[in-house]
A and B are shown apart, each in its own frame.
Chain A
Amino acid sequence: MNQEDTNVIDQPEVLKPRMVTIEIAGKKVEVPEGITVIKAMWYAGIDVVRGVGCLGGFCGACATYYRTKDDPKVKTCLACQTAVQDGMSFTMMPPFPARKATYDIQKLQDPKQDLFNLYPEAPLCRNCNACTEACPQKIDVREGVWKAVFGDFKSVSEMFMDCVMCGMCTPVCIADIAPNLVALYVSRAQGAHFSEQPEGLDTRIKEIQDGRFNDDWNKILKMNDKELAEHCATVK
């Protein structure tokens, strides 16, 4: 590869990874600096089945507690999205037995009132803010719980669009609220009950049912490969 020198930022000394000492669930291991928490577990020979999902920061499977060197503060992260550093100590969060209410979203009569039947603990928030501090997605969870209780479903649905359902807001809640599950209910209710019906969509569904495109289909599906390729080329 004839890479021009000006493009190259290789620095030989950084190509060899520096090793750092970390603690995985209380056990000291040496791993290359800067790899992700998940990769550090693999590097240490730990087979991970529970605790890995999409590896892209979206599925919430790899919720992890960690602490950095000499800092007493235990923080939360997604293991696939966090780099290890020297002196770091971490352990994965086991599945937490939060209660999820079940409901038929389409049959709800009064979704804002139903919230209190499905999640009676939701209004009992004591404002400790631990859920917000625990959120690896930086959602203001506490604010969301209050907005849900006050019926501002629209704001909740916007605030929780980033929620990966890792559930790290749940074990810290002193009122036994599962904020992510409350927000999921609220967001679904917002979509199913408080959002406008898009007229254009209904029109299109009807057009298809009424066979409005049948002439086009008949024309296209009769074409041979060459005709079809030429026709495709005309679509701009």
Chain B
Amino acid sequence: MDIHALQQIVHKTRDARRKQTIPKFSPADRDQLIHKYHPDFRTSAYRPIKFGPNEGDKTVVELATLLEGDSSIQDHADLNAHYTCDVLVIGGGGAGCAAALHAHGAGAKVILATKLRLGDSNSVMAQGGMQISVAPEDSPVTHFLDTLKGGHMENDHALLKVMVEDGPSIAKWLLELGVLFDRQADGNLHVKKGGGSSKPRLLTCSDYTGLEIMRVLKDEVINQKIQLLEFAAAVELLSDEEGNCTGAIFKDLDNQRHVVVAAKSVILATGGIGRLHIQGFPTSNHYGATGDGLCLAYRMGAKLAHIDTFQYHPSGAVYPEQLIGALVTEGIRSEGGQLVNAKGERFVNELDTRDVVSSSIIRECEEGRGIRTMAGRVGVWLDTPLLDAEHGAGTVEKHFPAMMLQFERFGIDISKDPVLIYPTLHYQNGGVKIDTNAETNVKNLFVAGEASGGLHGRNRLMGNSLLDLMVFGKRSGLTAADRVKVMKQGTLTLKHLQKFRAEAKKHGNASGVISPMILPAYTRKVG
């Protein structure tokens, strides 16, 4: 049977489903579901880290191996600086751009280095929006409570409080830079409801929120003439005699040479780990999402938080094969798109948190109520035509132009036919532990954005990532810039690496790989 024949059940059952309301799970049912089906609870995928700041903590095998990995830099490498600056930002996504702009604005000499081009990141793909409590019936406190609930009560309260309170001023900053957030008729910011949130709180730029923000921030970085090092992959950090961070070594991916940058402080904004394909999952992440910042910070002695938990976005495309793992925005469920199994039944409240929805999709598929594609992949339907049926013809096209175009390229009209989806590896909930200024336990080493940990607890709420990037990018940038006024450039040494290597040796050089990975090795397989 071809895919169109299988879709008929979605069309047939649409009217009956429209009247249905599905209650959210009780806390007990929710926990049971997650423990049974969420990939975070597949114990065989995990192992304890053998040494370092998180010795004994469990994480996925793929990450543990990289954290224990060795550096590509020799103990006695030449450390004469090619470049010197006040603030070195590593990473060119949302957090990196925000950090660089704020540090530069505060008068620091900034270098922004990134292993691909400026802006090549996950940020650019964020479609769902940015959570900021701007609506009169909403408040930062409610935003705090929703996020805490979504994060299974394990979020760092201090980080979370500053994020929700800084939110509105971030929106103001972006508007002043020219970001075109969607508006209501009265000129106020339009807010949409997101999964796991009790109030409509998502600021959006149609379904191009991340792209719009990144277009503007990239342009601003260039206009401000911030020095860029593109195609420069960070391979090691540098430390002074006391172990404080003083710069980094990069590999120029065009000519393979090493570039040494001396800096008074370093901001890691290197993003997530999707391209490690944990547990074999496809990913929605960009090409460079290989967890480089985690390895670099870990070797410096920075402690990681919540690295046993990852977010599998409920709706990764399963069909067509070319879009495997690509995200089908949660915005569609926010506007009433329903999830439907092979029997034409709904099976979860679509606006429950991501971990719950993902777990329920995995349950449907494992219990034989999934739909299988010709390529042997399994998924469930996301009823996209329902949006047009519910809100009038043209709704999907108007609200989700990016999605429409993405599927149209493969001859699929998502306003007429439902989309087949399955969870895709989307986000690392944890990362390097930071304080409210985004500084780690290693002095002068800051981490902002997805590479940092603690803020989101065990599950990030939709729309909180874009805000996280902006808030902690800003805080790291301002703190670093403020500090450089009263400090001198520290010496450049690899003492931390020698220490790390000595410890690795005690554990039999555990993993035998070189980290960071820099880019995934796709030339050996197609995936």
Contact = CB atoms under 8 A, between A and B. Distances in A.
B494 to A, nearest CB: 26
A32 interface: yes
A112 interface: no
B134 interface: yes
A189 interface: yes
B212 A161 contact: yes
Interface string A129-154: 00000000110000000000000000
Given A61-B116, A198-B187, A205 B169 contact: yes
Given A42-B523, A54-B287, A191-B178, A199 B172 contact: no
Contact of B375 (A2, A15, A199): A15
Interface in A36-60: 36, 39, 42-43, 45-47, 49-50, 52-59
A50 B287 CA distance: 11
B211 A164 contact: yes
A56 B522 contact: no
Given A36-B322, A58-B125, A199 B153 contact: no
B6 interface: yes
B526 A187 contact: no
Given A56-B284, A81-B406, A200 B176 contact: no
Interface in A1-59: 1-4, 6-11, 14-15, 32, 34-36, 39, 42-43, 45-47, 49-50, 52-59
A15 B376 CA distance: 8
Nearest to B410: A83
Given A4-B368, A7-B342, A56 B6 contact: no
Contact of B253 (A15, A49, A200): A49
A56 B286 contact: yes
Interface in A179-201: 184, 187-192, 195-201
Contact of A208 (B5, B140, B189): B140
Interface string B200-240: 00000110101110011001101101000001000000000
B19 interface: no
Contact of B522 (A15, A42, A104, A161): A42
B377 to A, nearest CB: 10
Interface string A192-236: 100111111111110010000100110011000100110111011
A103 B223 CA distance: 6
Contacts of B219: 100, 184, 188
A190 B178 contact: yes
Interface string B4-37: 0110000000000000000000010000000000
B288 to A, nearest CB: 8
A119 B293 CA distance: 39
A61 B321 CA distance: 21
Contacts of A42: 522-523, 526
A165 B215 CA distance: 8
Given A39-B526, A137-B405, A200 B519 contact: no
A47 B523 CA distance: 6
A123 B149 CA distance: 54
Contacts of B139: 213, 216
Given A9-B374, A34-B321, A56-B284, A106 B176 contact: yes
28 contacts: A1-B366, A2-B368, A3-B372, A8-B1, A9-B3, A9-B373, A55-B287, A56-B284, A56-B286, A56-B327, A57-B326, A58-B402, A59-B286, A61-B116, A82-B409, A103-B223, A157-B180, A161-B208, A161-B401, A162-B402, A191-B178, A196-B187, A198-B189, A200-B136, A205-B169, A221-B157, A225-B153, A232-B153
